[in-house]
Amino acid sequence: MAAQMTDAHRRFLQVLMSHGIMEGSEARKLHRRCCEIHKVHYVHDKLDDFISTVNRHLQPLFMQIRKGLSESDGRAHYALVNLAETEITKMASDYTENELELFRKTMDLIISSENGFASSTDILNLADQLKTKKMKKKEAEQVLNVFVEDKWLSERNGEYTLHTRCIIEMEQFILSNYQDIARKCNICHSLAIQSQVCESCGTGMHLPCVRKYFRAQTEPRCPQCNDFWSCDIPGTKQPIFTKTESSNTRK
């Protein structure tokens, strides 16, 4: 008989929802705390089992706690996602029509870019071309801040990319709506927004996947065409990425 849901599961779900997204170690701590509070048997390292019990009950509601890896540091994150709606309509209740249009256009820029980032200048230049209702640059700037606060985008030195939570939620949507330009990582086979791309064959890989893959190799070569990998291998320099992402997710 599959495990029943207890108050520990419910509390876990509530806290996860209020955070929007949680990093793996935070989620493990929460798992433990919830079991302690409700005196439910706690099994160390069995977070994924605990979550699958929750997921069985979320299934009929077309919801799911999904695990995804951060594109910048490769760490696991958990978020509650809605499988029923096309993802943008879910945002629809929170944003006005022209805000949504700005988000869509930003997403276009990010996905069609080489490295998965769009500069704030390029995004702000879209503000007065919106079809639904034009925006002043100042307004658009504020809207971008809200997208970052709500964890749809993350920002680094004036460059925007999709937040891990957004990727976990929208992966399917992006893969089907941007079929021609959305890349899948050659290593982990999931959607790759921030990625390095092989100059000869266009194969893309997540930065953490690149790091892991080339660690074992003496000379970096593309896993697809075997040509020399000309991008800088991440992780050999200072870890700027890790810092931004974790401060974003922990807010």
Stretch of 70-78, 85-93, 99-107, 153-161 contacting another protein, by CB under 8 A: 85-93
- 146: contact with another protein by CB under 8 A: no
In a 3-state reduction of DSSP, which class is residue 21? strand
> How many Å apart are CA 84 and CA 62, to the nearest integer?
5
Stretch of 67-75, 88-96, 134-142, 220-228 contacting another protein, by CB under 8 A: 88-96
Nearer to another protein, 58 or 153 (CB): 58
Contact with another protein (CB under 8 A): which of 32, 67, 75, 90? 90
Q: In the structure encoding, which two tokens stand for residue 2, read together? A: 């599959």
How many C-beta neighbours within 10 Å does residue 234 have?
20
Stretch of 11-19, 184-192, 201-209, 228-236 contacting another protein, by CB under 8 A: 11-19
Q: What are the percentages of helix, strand and coil residues in the chain, rounded to 5?
A: 45, 15, 35
- 49: contact with another protein by CB under 8 A: no
Find how far residue 144's CA is from the centre of its chain: 17
- 216: contact with another protein by CB under 8 A: no
Site for another protein in 94-133 (CB under 8 A): 94
Shortest gap between Cβ of 149 and another protein (angstroms)?
10
- 181: contact with another protein by CB under 8 A: no
**In angstroms, what CA-CA distances link 89 with 146, 148, 173?**
17, 18, 11
Asked if 97 contacts 132 with a C-beta cutoff of 8 angstroms, the reply is yes
- 25: contact with another protein by CB under 8 A: no
Shortest gap between Cβ of 115 and another protein (angstroms)?
29
- 86: contact with another protein by CB under 8 A: no
Scored b (16 or more CB within 10 A) or e, 151-190 reads bbbbbeeebbbbbbbbbbbbbebbeeeeeeebbbbbbbeb
Phi-psi region of 196 (alpha: psi -120 to 50; beta: other; left: phi over 0): beta
- 61: contact with another protein by CB under 8 A: yes
Shortest gap between Cβ of 33 and another protein (angstroms)?
8
Point out which residues bind another protein (CB under 8 A): 1-2, 5, 7, 10-11, 13-15, 17-20, 37-38, 55-63, 82-85, 90, 93-94, 172, 251
